[in-house]
């Protein structure tokens, strides 16, 4: 390690607080310092090349070195580096991007509100829904339905919607009224002998039972990712989403589609709701919106939701919510150019065309002694690792085996993410057939090394 790298690592350990990190362990092992990116690859401070198999954080659709996005940012920096959108102010990039998103999203989602992140967006959704129902004289209609293993962010409100223990423990969450329903993942949560259709019927009955138990007049919205991402890449069973949408219509419950990971082609369709055949009242987008070159998120509202909020803002004199960076001109300019690239280069079509190669290649590992299930759709996938394939029993302590395999994958030149017991993959939408094959080869070597490590150490053979 060179002197600069030593200095950077020491400074990081001394001063940086990392998200989603065991801080004491970080003090011992230090950071992987990434210095540059090119296409689907990134490079560390030692010059080692990696395929970024998770697109950073599920987000860099166009790869890590697109000059069009750099140029779009520079042009906007030179023209208008910052302005806000409070109190009737506006600028062209946010206007044009709102117009573009209204055009791209499913019919009826005509109004766009910008935030800086998906967490802020989902936090804003909670406030908007509460604001709407107060305006409509329904102050008791405030509860949310979400799912275990769902991920919707980490603010107090969005973190409450999230259904992951690590996001709740010792944070005093949930802090808003929310009921978490069964995760729609048949392999893990189906009963013994229960078919997928029976599992779907049970989950829909559970949802309706909870609605009736709580009282439909108290349930404001159902929020879900079409395909769950950060919870472990959970693909819903057939009929689940149309059934949920029907329940929401029946009981006058808003349906919120969290497309932060699914959106802009990840599943081979523009949005996940289109893949699974439902139209939401509210849609949340981020990540691939700018390929994360700039922080930006967007909320799309249908006219019913917008009109109630707009009428109440007229009554009160303002909609008392917003962020300094809402609709930031540089972020919006980058977002517009990013969407042009996705469309002009047919990156959504690329995800659809490569789905079979990617998914079938990974499913070759279904017989690997470490792998319990391989699941995914489009260019997103997860491999859940188990100690016992027959009983689907996880390794103990939880999370260690996936973290070990992810570390070995990095040593093989592939960055992936360990999510509890799952190794997750989500390559940039620009990925090629040859690079898909490299991802599968490198992951295969990491799995083989992980299995050898289990055999050598006896890990997981005792409690």
Q: What is the pLDDT of residues 175-217, one digit of tens each?
A: 999 999 999 999 999 999 999 999 999 999 999 999 999 999 9
Asked whether residue 357 falls in the same domain as residue 331, the answer is no
Is residue 6 very low, low, confident or very high in pLDDT (cuts 50, 70, 90)? confident
CB atoms < 10 A from the CB of 1, how many? Answer: 12
Closest CA to 58 of 299, 229, 284, 293: 229
Residue 14 within any structural domain of the chain: no
- Please write down the HEC assignment for all residues of 42-59: EEECCCCEEEECCHHHHC
Give the CA count within 13 Å in the CB-facing half-sphere of 417.
Answer: 22
- CA dist 294 → 100, 282, 384, 406 (Å): 18, 23, 32, 27
Cα 100 from Cα 96, distance rounded (Å): 6
Token pair, residue 216, equals 């439909």
Bridge-based pairing state of the strands 414-415 and 49-52: parallel
Structural domain includes residue 11: no
**Tens-place pLDDT, residues 83-114:** 999 999 999 999 999 999 999 999 999 999 99
Question: Which of 312, 344, 376 is the last residue before a domain boundary?
Answer: 344
Please give the tally of structural domains in the chain. 2
Q: Which own/partner contact pairs does 199-203 have at CB distance under 8 Å and 24+ positions apart? A: 199/237, 200/237, 200/238, 200/239, 200/240, 200/243, 203/237, 203/240
Q: 338 and 352: one domain?
A: no
Q: End of a domain among 344, 373, 396?
A: 344
Q: What is the H or E stretch that residue 254 is in? A: strand 254-258
Structure letter (DSSP) for residue 394: P
Q: Is residue 115 helix, strand or coil?
A: strand
CATH of residue 393's domain is 3.90.1150.10
Residue 433, helix vs strand vs coil: helix
Query: Which band of pLDDT confidence, cut at 50, 70 and 90, is reported for residue 1?
Result: low
Phi-psi region at 329: left, alpha or beta (left = phi > 0; alpha = psi -120 to 50): alpha
Structure tokens at 384: 């859940």
- pLDDT tens-digit map of 402-436: 999 999 999 999 999 999 999 999 999 999 999 99
Instruction: CATH number of the domain at 164, please.
Output: 3.40.640.10
221 and 161 within one domain:
yes
Both 54 and 79 in a single domain? no
pLDDT in the model for residue 5: 65
Instruction: Return mean pLDDT, the chain.
Output: 96
| pLDDT tens string 342-363 | 999 999 999 999 999 999 999 9
* Cβ atoms 419, 382 nearer than 8 A: yes
Same domain, 191 and 280: yes
How far is 451 from 463, CA to CA, in rounded Å? 18
Regarding whether 89 and 39 lie in a shared domain, the answer is no
Domain boundaries, position 325: 68-344
Residue 270 lies in a domain: yes
pLDDT at 34: 97
Q: Is 212 exposed, middle or buried (0-12, 13-18, 19+ CB in 10 A)?
A: exposed
Question: Rounded CA gap, 81 and 361, in Å?
Answer: 45
Residue 9, in any domain of the structure: no
Which of the residue ranges 175-184, 325-334, 376-385, 451-460 would you say has the lowest mean pLDDT? 451-460
Query: Does the structure show a pLDDT above 90 at 2?
Result: no
* pLDDT in the model for residue 3: 59
pLDDT at 243 over 70: yes
Polymer length in residues for the chain: 463
Same domain, 48 and 131: no
Residues 58 and 36 in one domain: yes
Structure tokens at 420: 């509890």
Question: Which of 344, 367, 390 delimits the end of a domain?
Answer: 344
Confirm whether 4 is domain-assigned: no
pLDDT at 46: 94
Please indicate, yes or no, whether residues 276 and 307 belong to a single structural domain of this protein. yes
Same domain, 315 and 375: no
Judgement on whether residues 93 and 208 belong to the same structural domain of the protein: yes
Q: Is the pLDDT of residue 463 over 50?
A: no
Same structural domain, 41 and 161: no
Does residue 462 carry a pLDDT above 60?
A: no
What's the CA gap between 77 and 93, in Å, rounded? 12
Q: Decide if 42 contacts 50 (C-beta within 8 A).
A: yes
The structure tokens listed for 175 are: 């802090």
Average pLDDT over residues 381-393: 96
Q: Is residue 20 part of a domain?
A: no
Residue 8 within a domain? no
Alpha helix ranges (H) inside 59-195: 67-79, 92-104, 118-135, 156-161, 186-189
Residue 256 lies in a domain: yes
C-alpha to C-alpha distance for 225 and 260, rounded to whole angstroms: 8
């Amino acid at each position: 390690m060179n002197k600069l790298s030593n200095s950077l690592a020491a400074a990081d350990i001394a001063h940086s607080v990392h998200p989603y990190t065991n801080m004491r362990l970080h003090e011992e092992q230090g950071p992987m310092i990434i210095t540059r990116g090119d296409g689907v690859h990134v490079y560390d401070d030692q010059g080692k090349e990696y395929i970024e198999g998770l697109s950073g954080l599920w987000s860099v659709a166009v790869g890590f070195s697109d000059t069009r996005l750099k140029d779009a940012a520079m042009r906007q920096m030179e023209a208008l580096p910052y302005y806000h959108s409070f109190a009737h102010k506006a600028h062209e990039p946010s206007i044009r991007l709102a117009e573009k998103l209204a055009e791209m999203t499913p019919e009826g989602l005509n109004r766009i509100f910008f935030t800086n992140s998906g967490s802020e967006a989902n936090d804003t959704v909670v406030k908007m829904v509460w604001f709407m129902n107060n305006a409509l004289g329904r102050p008791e209609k405030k509860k949310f339905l979400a799912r275990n293993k769902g991920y919707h962010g980490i603010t107090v409100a969005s973190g409450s919607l999230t259904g992951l223990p690590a996001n709740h423990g010792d944070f005093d969450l949930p802090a808003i009224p929310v009921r978490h329903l069964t995760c729609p993942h048949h392999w893990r949560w189906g009963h013994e002998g229960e078919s997928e259709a029976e599992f779907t019927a049970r989950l829909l009955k559970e949802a309706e039972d909870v609605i009736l138990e709580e009282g439909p007049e108290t349930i404001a919205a159902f929020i879900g990712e079409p395909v769950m991402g950060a919870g472990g890449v959970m693909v819903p069973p057939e009929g689940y989403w149309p059934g949920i949408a029907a329940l929401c219509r029946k009981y006058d419950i808003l349906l919120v589609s969290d497309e932060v990971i699914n959106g802009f082609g990840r599943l081979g369709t523009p949005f996940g709701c289109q893949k699974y055949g439902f139209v939401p009242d509210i849609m949340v987008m981020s990540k691939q919106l700018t390929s994360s070159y700039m922080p930006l998120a967007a909320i799309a509202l249908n006219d019913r939701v917008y009109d109630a909020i707009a009428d109440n803002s007229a009554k009160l004199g303002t909609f008392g919510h917003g962020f300094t960076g809402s609709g930031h001109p540089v972020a919006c300019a980058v977002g517009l150019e990013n969407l042009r690239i996705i469309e002009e280069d047919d990156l959504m079509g690329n995800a659809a065309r490569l789905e079979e190669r990617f998914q079938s290649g990974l499913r070759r590992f279904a017989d690997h002694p470490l792998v319990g299930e391989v699941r995914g759709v489009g260019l997103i996938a997860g491999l859940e690792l188990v100690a016992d394939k027959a009983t689907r029993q996880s390794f103990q302590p939880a999370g260690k085996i996936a973290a070990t395999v992810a570390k070995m994958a990095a040593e093989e030149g592939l960055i992936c993410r360990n999510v509890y017991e799952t190794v997750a993959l989500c390559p940039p939408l620009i990925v090629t057939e040859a690079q898909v094959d490299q991802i599968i080869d490198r992951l295969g070597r990491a799995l083989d090394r992980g299995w050898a490590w289990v055999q050598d150490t006896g890990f997981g053979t005792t409690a």
